[in-house]
Amino acid sequence: MARRIAIASPMGVAGETAPQVASRGPSWDGRFTVLILFLPPALLLFTLFVVLPIGEAAWYSGFNWNGFGRPTHWIGFDNYRFVLETRAFWLALRNNGLIVAVSLAIQLPLALTLALMLAEKFRGAVALRMLFFMPYILAEIATGLIFSFVYDGDYGLVASIWRTFGAEPPHLLASTDTAMLAVLIVIVWKYFGFHMMLFIAALQSLDKSLVEAARIDGATRSQALRHVVIPLLYPTIRLSVFFAIVGSLQLFDLVMPLTRGGPADSSNTMVSFLYNNGISRMRVGYGSAIGVILFVICVTFAFTYKRWFMRDE
Amino acid sequence: MRLLEKLGLAAAACLLGANVAAADTIVKWLHIEVNPAQVKIWEEVARSYEASHPGVKIEMQFLENEAYKAKLPTILQSKDRPHIIYSWAGGVLKTQVEAGVLEDITDSVKSGGYSDTIAPAALAAFTQNGHVYGLPIALSQVGFLYNKDLMAKGNVDASKIKTWDDLLGAVKTLKAAGVTPIVVGGADKWPLHFFWTHLAVRVGGKPAFDAALKGENGGFAGETFQKSGELFKQLVDLQPFQNGFLGFKNPQAVGYFGDGKAAMILAISSFYHTQRALAADKVGLSDDKLGWFDFPVVPGGKGEPSDTLGGITGWLITKGAPKEATDFLKYFISKDVQARLAVGNFIVPVVKGGEAGLNSTFMKQIAANLAKSNYHQNFYDQSLGPSVGRVVNDVTAEIAGGSMSPQDAAKAIEAAYKQGN
């Protein structure tokens, strides 16, 4: 029993002490004081760093503006029309969709499988965990540069592997057919370790007596896994999915050193599309429109997801 | 209490120290030059200027070409912007002038007859509405740099390549001999746009470009620009480029040429020198292995064979820069320094008399070509400004990658030009 408490989640501990706290819960006056004291700074920061920039972007998106001085040439919703008429924008959106799909269909299951294997205590488990987590520690730009060498069709690792089979090595990043695939592989490689760590942490704080009870009742290992462990992991899985999708929508710094969105926009994400078209071309109004569209997509997703899947948390 | 006193004294000392330091004028100079040999000369010029002007410090800062272009708008609007920046003139310069981030240095340049020492056409590129905002440093020409050994291996006589068909023929012969005909840095896109724009210069000449700017003859969607796309497509269909050319950045491509792996590169004349620095062995191809032929003519083209595509590069003074920045720039663009850079064959000088220093036949040839050219077209991606110029680069890369037809490419440029900025 002592062991059980030791591994209980912080939430469980808080739950046990909650009744005592409730008996001397804050009065309405107290809450009001807290509100007066703590709300203004938070509200100020939120306005300054979140509301204002978004409002500004929305304002700029109505102008044909090159980013110098004050915007003057108001064109209404034309920038949005231009964005939606651009083929590259839809390609970027499709690519973001692909990244989300790959994250959910390959990355998370891979992370979960590895976590189930490595959550147990055995010799070398910690070393293996570190090894899988390593790519996540590496800076995105560095990762991109490293992989641009790995993928190089003349000198890269991929090329030398290809040559051992006697074939002419491909330039993965230079072809519209393979560039996005190459980027996706790097994404999975880079981020699965992060999700694995989340799952391991969740698994270790799991109430093991429930699994033991299921086993005593005659459940096989896989039955226990399917009906006890995985359901207990749902909160973490939901969080992981949330991180994976939001991260996928914002992906930028891996793409730039690898392909800069090319060739022919085939590996652009929404953010690299924003950068290539808004910043490099000095079309800040147009770029702002892309930013606003991206923001709307992210916010819509975040609220919907929270409402549907994370209601209890 | 004594501690406080000490602290006060220390603070006062710091303030005084800061004052002494502030008496020095620091001129911040941002460049994009990758050739260490040339940067070394620049450094020496800066140090010698400092020696004769006590209290002035010249600080060099470097950014890589693409990064520089991307960051420039932000850099220019910062309070801490560099005082001297690199420029390709053209539409980008126009945008910067309109935004009011450049310093008008007309008086300083005109004083003492200084402006008369510079080639008028080059100075004109840095003049807007009669106001001078910077000084040119060099002219360049785009043409084919070739590797004599590889041409011989492929049995191609480069001196006989005069027309577009000759070039296509040479590409076929070289391919048949197992030689990579042309190397290009397709990931940067602008090296690919040289093909398309130079074809446009040959097909339509100056009249076509001027008409397109006015929106006449269908603008950039007109016949000339469709035709140049079609001719470019003819070349692309022969698969003349190295494997994976869309993944190569320009420095990589120039290095590849310097390593002797491809027969030709459609080069800016300065690549003659940078190929050495960018080659794997840092030696590159020696003069006797290098050849040059001008961009081939197009049958029925309205452009003169002597018309040139290239750059007029120089330095701009940014708003609020100390007057020492302009003074240093004038010192830098002087006959002595230009001759010194010419001796190293780094530039085709813009200061009259500077070309006397040129000692390689190659650079002399380029200087002669530029001297007899009546129409020197600045790179389209600079001349048309950041927004339209980048679209030109995009669509030429798309034609090269096979994902866009020449007609659609021309239409895309016209659409961007109409949207404008």
Determine the straight-line distance between the first and last CA of chain B, rounded to whole angstroms.
63
Q: Do A279 and B70 touch (CB under 8 A)?
A: yes
Nearest CA in chain A to B256: A154
pLDDT of residue A281: 83
Residues of A in contact with B96 (CB under 8 A): 68
In terms of DSSP H, where are the helices of chain A? 2-7, 10-23, 28-46, 52-60, 78-85, 87-102, 108-118, 125-137, 140-150, 157-164, 179-204, 208-216, 221-224, 230-250, 255-258, 270-274, 284-309
Q: Do B390 and A280 touch (CB under 8 A)?
A: yes
Helices B90-99, B385-401: axis angle to 10 degrees equals 150
Cross-chain CB nearest to B419 (options A82, A259, A282): A82
Q: Is B99 on the interface with A (CB under 8 A)?
A: yes
Q: Do B401 and A264 touch (CB under 8 A)?
A: yes
Q: Provide the shortest C-alpha distance from residue B224 to chain A (in Å).
A: 24
Q: Is B280 on the interface with A (CB under 8 A)?
A: no
Q: For A205-227, what is the mean pLDDT?
A: 90
Paired tokens of B399: 């034609």
> A247 CB contacts (<8 Å, ≥6 apart)?
A103, A191
**What DSSP state is assigned to residue B33?**
-
Q: Is B262 on the interface with A (CB under 8 A)?
A: no
Q: For A4-30, what is the mean pLDDT?
A: 47
pLDDT tens for B170-197 read 999 999 999 999 999 999 999 999 999 9
Q: Residues for chain A: how many in total?
A: 313
* Residues of chain B scoring pLDDT < 70: 1-23, 420-421
Q: Do B247 and A173 touch (CB under 8 A)?
A: yes
Residues of B in contact with A279 (CB under 8 A): 70, 73
Contact (Cβ atoms closer than 8 angstroms) between residue B118 and residue B351? yes
Q: Do B421 and A168 touch (CB under 8 A)?
A: no
Q: Is B191 on the interface with A (CB under 8 A)?
A: no
Residues of A in contact with B98 (CB under 8 A): 68
Q: Do B77 and A68 touch (CB under 8 A)?
A: yes
pLDDT > 70: what percent of chain A?
A: 90
Match 């694995």 to its residue by tokens.
A196
Q: Do A68 and B69 touch (CB under 8 A)?
A: no
Question: Which one of A173, A281, A283, A284 would you mutate to disrupt binding with B, by most B Cβ within 10 Å of its Cβ?
Answer: A281
pLDDT > 90: what percent of chain A?
A: 54
Reduce the DSSP state of residue B330 to 3 states and report it.
helix
- Alpha-carbon span A244 to A231, nearest angstrom: 19
Report the mean per-residue pLDDT for chain A.
Answer: 86
Q: Is B69 on the interface with A (CB under 8 A)?
A: yes
- Alpha-carbon span B357 to B342, nearest angstrom: 5
Maximum Cα interatomic distance, chain B, rounded to a whole number of Å? 91
pLDDT tens for B81-106 read 999 999 999 888 988 898 889 999 99
pLDDT of residue A291: 94
In this structure, of A23-37, A171-185, B54-68, B263-277, the range with the lowest mean pLDDT score is A23-37
Q: Is B246 on the interface with A (CB under 8 A)?
A: yes
Residues of A in contact with B101 (CB under 8 A): 68
ipTM of the complex: 0.76
Q: Provide the shortest C-alpha distance from residue A123 to chain B (in Å).
A: 44
Q: Provide the shortest C-alpha distance from residue A155 to chain B (in Å).
A: 12
- Alpha-carbon span A306 to A288, nearest angstrom: 26
**What number of helices (H) and strands (E) belong to chain B?**
18, 14
Q: Provide the shortest C-alpha distance from residue A214 to chain B (in Å).
A: 56
Q: pLDDT band for position A8 (50/70/90)?
A: very low
pLDDT at A24 over 90: no
Q: Do A279 and B404 touch (CB under 8 A)?
A: no
Q: Distances from the Cα of B145 to the Cαs of B66, B70, B227, B262, B301, in angstroms?
A: 23, 29, 25, 10, 23
Q: Do A154 and B244 touch (CB under 8 A)?
A: yes
Q: So where are chain A's domains?
A: 2-44, 80-309
Q: Do B98 and A281 touch (CB under 8 A)?
A: no
pLDDT of residue A311: 73
pLDDT of residue B12: 54
Q: Do B421 and A154 touch (CB under 8 A)?
A: no
pLDDT tens for B195-226 read 999 999 999 999 999 999 999 989 999 999 99
Q: Do A66 and B387 touch (CB under 8 A)?
A: yes
In this structure, of A63-77, A201-215, A290-304, B93-107, the range with the lowest mean pLDDT score is A63-77
pLDDT tens for A218-238 read 999 899 999 999 999 999 999
Q: Provide the shortest C-alpha distance from residue B390 to chain A (in Å).
A: 7
What stretches of B318-371 adopt beta strand conformation (E)?
A: 348-349
- Alpha-carbon span B193 to B377, nearest angstrom: 13
Residues of A in contact with B394 (CB under 8 A): 265
pLDDT of residue B174: 97
Residues of B in contact with A153 (CB under 8 A): 243-244, 247
Q: Do B387 and A171 touch (CB under 8 A)?
A: no
As its CATH architecture, domain A80-309 has Orthogonal Bundle (1.10)
pLDDT at A277 over 50: yes
Q: Is A71 on the interface with B (CB under 8 A)?
A: no
pLDDT of residue B63: 92
Q: What is the pTM of this model?
A: 0.81
